[in-house]
């Protein structure tokens, strides 16, 4: 094996993000925070952005991780944050869209305002963020986009999930469109479809019903945010350079059960 081949095939080289800048929305809790910390552990500079109420209590972060408030539904706020990161760091190489909201209600109970809010955070937020970040990536010769979706976007999982599932189905197709449009520019776009991942954003009183609520249908019960972070790291780094336009389930085997 040549020296060049040995270097590019080393584990360190495949997952080294030194010199890269990442923006993670929904980064204060759960899967977003786990993803951001994984990227930082691979030597990326990371900005965790989230709702002011969540980001304000986030502490104990590594020095290369910055936490900031962001309303992903505001184009002005998104553009201001992305411009600030660009001025400070020179651009953005990695975008992880993990902002999430879910009004888990039956169709006859969810209000039009609640439906619109779910679409605004889960789909419009990804659109606004990607629109602001992609020009930064093009100036830096490429980039990685990772969308956090759900297995409910491809298969009904829980009762009362119509608004959330619809928003994530749109996110999947938006991701594929980005992958097609920017492949020639070395920008990859993929969506991760988590299954039943236990995070602190789930209210203690939440009692889901439907096939996805059965822990026996998942390997080892419910998953953890770290189960998602590993795939984010793969897709965001050199090892994932040839993966794009994919929706990848991380669900403990639910979809095949």
Please report, rounded to a whole number, the percentage of residues in the chain having pLDDT higher than 90. 70
Q: Helix 125-139 and helix 162-182: axis angle, to 10°?
A: 20
* pLDDT reported for residue 103: 86
* pLDDT reported for residue 202: 55
Classify domain 14-252 at the CATH superfamily level: NAD(P)-binding Rossmann-like Domain (3.40.50.720)
* pLDDT reported for residue 201: 57
Query: How buried is 219 (Cβ within 10 angstroms: 0-12 exposed, 13-18 middle, 19+ buried)?
Result: middle
Strands 247-250, 94-97: parallel, antiparallel or unpaired by DSSP?
unpaired
* pLDDT reported for residue 82: 98
- pTM for this prediction: 0.91
* pLDDT reported for residue 6: 47
Catalytic residues: 164
* pLDDT reported for residue 45: 98
Q: Are 238 and 180 within 8 A, CB to CB?
A: no
Return phi, psi of residue 222, to 5°.
Answer: -75, 155
Strand-by-strand arrangement of the 21-25 sheet: 65-69, 45-50, 21-25, 94-97, 143-148, 187-194, 247-250
Where on the phi/psi map is residue 250: left (φ > 0), alpha (ψ -120 to 50), or beta?
A: beta
| 16-49 per-position pLDDT tens digit | 999 999 999 999 999 999 999 999 999 999 999 9
Give every residue of the chain whose pLDDT is below 50, as ranges: 1-2, 5-6
């Amino acid at each position: 094996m040549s020296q060049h081949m040995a270097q590019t095939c080393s584990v360190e080289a495949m997952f080294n993000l030194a010199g890269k800048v990442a923006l993670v929305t929904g980064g204060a809790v759960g899967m977003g925070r786990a993803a951001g910390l994984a990227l930082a552990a691979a030597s990326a500079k990371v900005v965790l952005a989230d709702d002011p109420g969540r980001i304000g209590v986030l502490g104990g972060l590594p020095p290369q991780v910055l936490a900031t408030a962001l309303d992903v539904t505001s184009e002005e706020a998104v553009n201001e944050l992305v411009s600030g990161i660009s001025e400070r760091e020179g651009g953005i190489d990695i975008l992880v869209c993990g902002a999430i909201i879910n009004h888990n209600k039956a169709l006859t109970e969810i209000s039009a305002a609640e439906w619109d809010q779910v679409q605004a955070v889960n789909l419009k937020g990804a659109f606004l963020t990607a629109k602001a970040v992609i020009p930064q990536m093009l100036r830096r010769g490429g980039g990685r986009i990772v969308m956090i979706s759900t297995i409910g976007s491809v298969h009904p999982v829980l009762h009362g999930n119509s608004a959330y599932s619809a928003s994530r189905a749109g996110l999947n197709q938006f991701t594929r469109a980005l992958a097609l449009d920017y492949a020639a520019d070395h920008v990859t776009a993929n969506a991760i479809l988590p299954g039943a991942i236990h995070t602190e954003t789930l209210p203690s009183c939440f009692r889901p019903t439907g096939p996805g609520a059965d822990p026996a249908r998942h390997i080892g019960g419910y998953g953890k945010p770290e189960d998602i972070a590993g795939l984010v790291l793969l897709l965001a780094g050199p090892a994932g350079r040839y993966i794009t336009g994919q929706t990848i389930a991380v669900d403990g085997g639910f979809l095949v059960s």
